[in-house]
Structure 1
Amino acid sequence: MRILKKALPIWSAFFLVCSIPVWAQCPYVLDVERVEVAYIYDGDTVRLKDGRKVRLIGINAPETSKDNKPAEVFADEATEKLSKLLSQAEASLLLGKEKQDRYKRWLGYLYADEVLTSEYLLREGLAFHIAIPPNTRFSDCLKAAEIEAENKGLWGQNSTLLKNVSELSGRESGFRVLTGVVTSIRQIRNAHLLIIDKKLAVKVDESFMDGTDLSGANQFKGREVRVRGWIKPKKASDPAHYLPWFLVIRHSSQLEWL
């Protein structure tokens, strides 16, 4: 169990602030609550001293080892980086517009002093950006932070989270950043369905796409695209259009034309 230290003396905190890069773009807001982090599960989930389990908004970090499953690439590095950052700073929390998820975890932006930890991990290449409405307050600056990672961390090698659609196999599931070619596209009720490499069906809900127009289906055929989110393998009871894998797009940042 990683029990974090209390805030360091003033001179130590001053040294930390002065050593933090000036690239931080996501703003520090005043309506935060001071918190103490008692345990860090991985790069995107912590437990507070008051018992609340908090899932960090805006990122998805690699999973650490659990249930006899090995840790994903860079999971330990992300966990340790977050632990080190928080151990030397005062933590504060800003809850999202949607305050809890279906697992009863609290959803929030966690700051170390005035640095948004999600932004920090993205710039280090130790997490992927993900925007889930309605918690999209800092999605623009978080996306910019991910771009700054360039070839660092998760973007610098072929991890299991970053791959081509054609490489999907077995009953693979979970968060992925996938690249492939659109082989067909059709409209279904209140959404469009992108078929990628004839293996992945991507449901693009029009109500979440920030005005992105997919009505001209033919112009997208044959184009390379990158999508991100949680993939699910098809079950026997699923609709035929699920294909071997299915993914739902709920925000425009989940889909990039390459």
Structure 2
Amino acid sequence: MGVFGDYQKQGGLTRRKALVLGAAGLTVFGATGLRAADMKPGETGRVIRVIDGDSFVLEDGLIIRLAGIEAPRTALKSKKREAWPFAGESRAALSGLINKREVQLFYGGESRDRYGRAVAQVYTIAANGQRDIWIQAEMVRLGLARVMPWPGEYADIAALYALEAEAREKGRGIWSDPFYAPRSPDPNALAQFVDSVQIVEGIITSVADVRGQIYLNFGADYRTDFTVAIAKKNVKRFTAGNIDPLALEGAKVRVRGWVELINGPMIWLNQPERLEILS
């Protein structure tokens, strides 16, 4: 049996967290990890090259990015970017899982990104022709990728978060390095991570609706403290699942996204799947 069996055993989600995850209509479908109504089978093919921990190439030349997760970035000379910690280990792990193997893609939402890459959930194909390993889940379980969903990238987000929590608790892979640690909402500490993707964990002290735009504040002074903002155009993604962001005052949450400096540090939350309710 592949790795499916372990995913459906993950539990312990609070009702509140489950509701937030359900805001985008996501449903746990047992071991498959896919929302059947929204995912459609895509290409199958043999992997001939692994680029990094979340992208690879099929023999027909199609480049695939693993939807819903983010692996450590490799070095990029053109942008003077150094490799993130565990970039090599992540690439090696993905290569060990899929290189020279047959895989099948499954799509939710747009099937191509602006670079022409396929954006898909990926499974290896076993000798009997059946789906075997859900690659996103295995990379997260190993601690060599973190959950990072974008709109339309459907997956069993609850299962991925449970696997990430386990990997983080056990200090696997990236979670053994402070580079990836969840950050405090303390604005002075968080300011050093502006212009990067971070995971921030803290308590929402107040909420506000300003002309339809929602602000989740993590301190007494919105002009300097950390804030999560939900643009008016994105609020419907929460309300579609009967989730009221204004009811989150006092909740302990974990949110992930790009940290900007607007007054204090801020993350724009464009979808509920990037928000975990911890208590």
When residues 244 and 96 of structure 1 are mapped into structure 2, their CA distance, relative to the original with a 3 A threshold, is same
Find the aligned partners of 1:201 and 1:153 in 2 and give their Cα distance.
Answer: 29
TM-score by length of 2: 0.70
The correspondence of residues 13-162 of structure 1 with structure 2, limited to 5 A, is 22-25=5-8, 26-27=31-32, 31-67=41-77, 68-87=80-99, 89-113=101-125, 114-149=132-167, 150-151=169-170, 152-160=172-180, 162=182
Q: Secondary structure at the match of 1:31?
A: strand
More divergent stretch after superposition (161-170 vs 205-214)? 161-170
In structure 2, the partner of 1:188 is 210
Find the aligned partners of 2:263 and 2:115 in 1 and give their Cα distance.
Answer: 27
The letter of the residue matching 2:143 is G
Question: Is the 2:85–2:177 Cα contact (8 Å) retained in structure 1?
Answer: no
Find the aligned partners of 2:52 and 2:200 in 1 and give their Cα distance.
Answer: 22
Question: Is the 2:47–2:56 Cα contact (8 Å) retained in structure 1?
Answer: yes
Choose which of 206, 213, 217 in structure 1 pairs with 2:244: 213
TM-score by length of 1: 0.75
Find the aligned partners of 1:34 and 1:51 in 2 and give their Cα distance.
Answer: 12
1:115 deviation in Å?
0.8
Find the aligned partners of 2:272 and 2:106 in 1 and give their Cα distance.
Answer: 24
In structure 1, the partner of 2:21 is none
Q: CA RMSD in A?
A: 2.8
The letter of the residue matching 1:203 is A
1:118 deviation in Å?
0.3
1:157 deviation in Å?
3.9
Question: Is the 2:46–2:100 Cα contact (8 Å) retained in structure 1?
Answer: no
The letter of the residue matching 1:125 is G
Richer in strand (by share): 1
Identity among equivalent pairs (%): 27
1:165-202 CA-partner distances (Å, limit 9, x unpaired): 33223573232111234354211344311233544331
Find the aligned partners of 2:50 and 2:70 in 1 and give their Cα distance.
Answer: 14
When residues 189 and 45 of structure 1 are mapped into structure 2, their CA distance, relative to the original with a 3 A threshold, is farther
Larger RCO (alpha carbons 8 Å, 6+ apart): 2
Question: Is the 1:72–1:160 Cα contact (8 Å) retained in structure 2?
Answer: no
When residues 243 and 49 of structure 1 are mapped into structure 2, their CA distance, relative to the original with a 3 A threshold, is farther
Q: Secondary structure at the match of 2:245?
A: coil
Could you list the runs of 5+ residues in structure 2 that have no partner in the other structure?
9-30, 35-39, 126-131
Richer in helix (by share): 2
Q: Secondary structure at the match of 1:168?
A: helix
Aligned residues: 230
In structure 2, the partner of 1:11 is none
The letter of the residue matching 1:206 is V
Question: Is the 1:57–1:107 Cα contact (8 Å) retained in structure 2?
Answer: yes
Could you list the runs of 5+ residues in structure 1 that have no partner in the other structure?
1-16, 235-241
In structure 2, the partner of 1:229 is 257
When residues 118 and 171 of structure 1 are mapped into structure 2, their CA distance, relative to the original with a 3 A threshold, is closer
In structure 2, the partner of 1:12 is none
